[in-house]
Structures are given as C-alpha cells and as structure tokens.
Amino acid sequence: MFLSDRFLSAIALGSAHLEEITLLCAHGVSLKGLEVVVANCPLLRKVSLLDMKTDNAQALLIVTSCRNLEHFEVLFPDHAFTDAGLISIARNCPTLRTLRLRDCGGVTDSGVAEVVRQCTALRELSLKDMSHLTDHTLCNIANYCPLLTNLNICGSWLFTERGLAKLVQACTQLKQVEYCDNGGLTSSSAKLFSEMVKVVCEYG
C-alpha cells in the first residue's frame, strides 16, 4: 500500500496514545503528514524513518515536537539530511538513548560531535555505512558518551584501531561493538579488544 500524507494523518488522528512509529519506504509522506503525526501523538518516544527522503526540516519537526523522544533512526535518507539535522537533535533531545544512522552522506564528524556532546544519555549508537567519518568521531564518543553500551560502525572505512582503542577504554559500560567492511580495522582487531568488550566482526 502506498502511504500518503492523507493516510498517515488518518492513522495519527485516531492514535493519541501512539508511542512508536516506523515509516519504511514512505516516499509519499511529506512534512505535512509528519506535522499531523507529531501534533496528535504527543507520547511518541521512538521514531524510525527508513529508506525515505528524510531531510533537515523533517528531523527538526520531530525533535522539537516529540518531547519524550528516546529513539531516533534515520536510514538511507536523502542527502538533504545533513549536520544541521543532527544539530537539531543535539539541541532538543538531551534524554535520547538510541540514535541509529545509516548511509547519511550529508553528515560529517562535526555533526556527530554536536550530538554526542549534548546527548550524553546515549546508550546505543549506530553509524553504519558512514564511510566519510574519521577517528575524530570515535574520540568524541569516548569523551562524551560514558553510558554507551552498543556501537555499530560497519562500513565506516576511515576508523582505525587507534580510535577504537580509545573509545573502548573510555566507555566502560560498552558491551558490544559491531564492525565489518572497515578498511582501517582487521580481523585481528577483535582479538585486541575481546577482553574488554564483545566484538562482532563480520568478514565475507
């Protein structure tokens, strides 16, 4: 079924107690439809926007309207989702516990830095297929995310063992790191960190 603003609005108008919403390939949904959702579902704490043209305006609307937001997920967005979108999250979601990003080509080390500096309650962070991020991101996570328990950096080519080592040593609550297709990390990295944290390493 093709999800449109009209259809989404009809759902939202009858779902005042809705706490979680996942939109998958919802290319027919625009800012107008999301406005109806956030206006009528004040209890939303988990929002996942998957494989749709998510942009900064949509992110800003969600994070400024959903005051209980704990989980925000943006996968395969339009390149219009940039550091500005992350800065909106950083400034409006101090209690965010889970942030999952994937293939966000418009996001840089600077944008991630703003999030981790201000969202210090983060427990789970996924930066999958963010091939342009560097060890600067890992160092910022190490410095500002003491409660982090799960990290996914699969497909992030510029991360190195040096950056990962600093993060693992600083984030004492970390339980699991997932990585694969990382140019700066090898299968031996799992052995290096196995005594400190569970490392899920996938190589084809």
The DSSP annotation for 103-171 comes to S-TB--HHHHHHHHHH-TT--EEEEET-TT--HHHHHHHHHH-TT--EEE-TT-TT--HHHHHHHHHH-
* pTM as predicted: 0.89
Structural domains counted in the chain:
1
CB 172, CB 151: distance < 8 Å: no
Strand partners, 74: 49, 101
Q: So what's the pLDDT on residue 5?
A: 94
In a domain, 175, yes or no: yes
For the domain that residue 126 is a member of, what is the CATH number? 3.80.10.10
In a domain, 129, yes or no: yes
Q: So what's the pLDDT on residue 161?
A: 83
In a domain, 15, yes or no: no
In a domain, 10, yes or no: no
The three-class DSSP label of residue 84 is: helix
In a domain, 135, yes or no: yes
In a domain, 142, yes or no: yes
Q: So what's the pLDDT on residue 188?
A: 64
Crossing angle between the packed helical segments 83-92 and 56-65, to the nearest 10 degrees: 0
| Residues 130-141: b if buried by 16+ CB within 10 A, e if exposed | bbebbbebbbbb
Domain with 147, as residue range(s), is: 20-26+45-202
In a domain, 76, yes or no: yes
Closest CA to 202 of 148, 152, 163: 152
- In whole angstroms, what is the distance from residue 75 CA to residue 164 CA? 23
> Structure tokens of 127?
């930066």
Per-residue tens of pLDDT for the chain, all 204 residues: 578 999 999 999 999 999 999 999 998 999 999 999 999 999 999 999 999 888 999 999 999 999 899 999 999 887 789 999 999 999 999 889 999 999 998 999 999 999 999 999 999 999 999 888 999 999 999 999 999 999 999 888 888 888 888 888 899 999 988 887 766 666 666 666 666 666 665 543
In a domain, 120, yes or no: yes
The three-class DSSP label of residue 20 is: strand
